[in-house]
Structure 1
Amino acid sequence: MVLQLSGLSLVAMGTWVTAGGGPFLHLLGPFSNQLLRFVNIGLLCIAMGTTLVLLGALGGCAAHWESKCLLLTLFSIVLIIFISETAAGVVALVYSSFAEGILKAWAVPALQNDYGSDPTVTGIWNATMAELKCCGFSNYTDFLGSELEERNGTGLPPSCCSTNIAPCSPAEAARSPV
């Protein structure tokens, strides 16, 4: 039952992203077009959700009818999914530095250009920096030369100053090692 509910949630999210996920794609910023060349996120979520619903139904039918054939089929499908996820994890581990470079290429320009002026980007970055107790993607220097610095002079958001992660005055910045 939980498997089917999570599958239906994925189908609903995939439908939302496909039909009207403008804010979601806006968040991806400059990589939204490149990302959509490789994977249509909405359709991927719909496919994964449908697979989960069907696997839940197959497992429920196999248990209800006590069918060895259906149970073996369910086991085989789950085994194939497990092996695929393990392989995907290994690939993700091997290419994590590549993924970090892509993420940094998106994150730093978003901080430079959109932080403070776009409420969606500002809200997400504020929540992320507060939760992770960090300042910027790499450090506080990600905000140097940004629109935020031009507007308020310090160039740092309040979340950086409140946690004493970064220097919040020009004098502190001059004394602080980068």
Structure 2
Amino acid sequence: MGFSSIAKWILVLFNCLFFLVGAALLAIGLYVIFSPYSFEILAVLDNAAIRAGVYIIICLGAAIFVVAALGLFGACCKSKIMLGLYAFVLFVIIAIQLAAGIVTILYKSHVDDFVTSQLATTMDSYVAENETDSYSVGWNSIQIFFECCGTNNYTDWASTDWGTDGSVYKYQPAASYPISCCAVEDTSVILSGTIDTSSFTDVVKCYGGGGESIPNTYMAGSGEGCYNSFQDYIIQNSVLVGGVGIGLAAFEILLFLLALVVCFTIDKEEDVV
């Protein structure tokens, strides 16, 4: 088996893997769209760019399908046009990924400020604990799933419209924070947008009953704010995301080089013939 054949089949194999990467991105995007309360959580950040990011992931996954097809057919058929187009598209993708990485690093502080301001602002849009609007369900979901309370801590709720309006429905009439700030034993506590109180660890003690002080361990995250929880979540996943990003970029560069090698080999084989 000659060098050109080896390069061709390596390119075919790697494009099969590239095809799976596209499938994974599509799956992630579709999961975010159809998973329970994902868009309610995104609504709390209330930014079109963030919501559009989900659709960008889906489009990127679909684009990778097309690119992988170009590589597969170009290598199998030894088509210089398809391989050339494939290499060009890969070059553009690599450049975009590099630019996105640089922008992310340069604007990290702006993202932090944006998340803080949006969390604080949307708290005032919280209606009530048993409401099914996007902000109420979003904040309930965030506080339960991320085990946190408020933006900076549980005291943030006291100054919100929900906290100062005595007419809104509350599970605890004198409560200064929603029941979703209480620790739960099962995150399925949110059912169809409403809260099932049977899954909470101890609602009475969460609100300071039974001699408990506030904050206490019966509160989600002991009353810590959701901004810190978001940061912890990002830090925990940043190494994984960064590693995947570097690996994907290296993989794409290898595919780019292989495509060029196959193109040049085709020229040499045609000259020999």
1: distance between equivalents of 2:175 and 2:102? 42
Question: Which of 89, 98, 111 is the equivalent residue of 1:86?
Answer: 98
Q: Is 1:107 matched with 2:119?
A: yes
1: distance between equivalents of 2:134 and 2:86? 42
**Aligned amino acid, residue 108 of structure 1:** A
Shift of 1:86: 2.5
> Across the two proteins, how many residue pairs are aligned to each other?
161
Q: List per-residue Cα deviations over 1:66-100 (Å, max 9, x = no partner).
A: 44664454244324312321321221122122122
Check whether the contact 1:130–1:159 (CA below 8 A) recurs between aligned residues: yes
User: Where does residue 158 of structure 1 map in the other structure?
Assistant: 179
Check whether the contact 1:6–1:49 (CA below 8 A) recurs between aligned residues: yes
User: Where does residue 168 of structure 1 map in the other structure?
Assistant: 207
Larger radius of gyration: 2
**Aligned amino acid, residue 146 of structure 2:** L
Question: Normalized per residue, which structure has more helix?
Answer: 1
* TM-score, normalised by the number of residues in structure 1: 0.61
Map of 1:12-91 to 2, 5 A cutoff?
A: 28=43, 32=47, 35=48, 41=52, 45=56, 48=60, 51-67=63-79, 70-71=82-83, 73-91=85-103
Runs of 5+ consecutive residues of structure 1 not aligned to the other structure: 17-23
> Secondary structure of 2:134's partner?
helix
User: Where does residue 19 of structure 1 map in the other structure?
Assistant: none
Q: Is 1:98 matched with 2:110?
A: yes
> Secondary structure of 2:102's partner?
helix
Check whether the contact 1:4–1:53 (CA below 8 A) recurs between aligned residues: yes
Check whether the contact 2:124–2:160 (CA below 8 A) recurs between aligned residues: yes
Shift of 1:169: 4.2
Check whether the contact 1:108–1:137 (CA below 8 A) recurs between aligned residues: yes
Q: Is 1:146 matched with 2:160?
A: yes
- Would the alpha carbon gap of residues 95 and 51 (structure 1) be closer, same or farther in structure 2, given more than 3 Å must change? same
> Secondary structure of 2:182's partner?
helix
1: distance between equivalents of 2:30 and 2:146? 29
2: distance between equivalents of 1:155 and 1:40? 31
2: distance between equivalents of 1:156 and 1:40? 28
2: distance between equivalents of 1:138 and 1:128? 13
> Could you say what the CA RMSD is over the residues aligned between the two structures, in angstroms?
4.5
- Would the alpha carbon gap of residues 162 and 56 (structure 1) be closer, same or farther in structure 2, given more than 3 Å must change? same
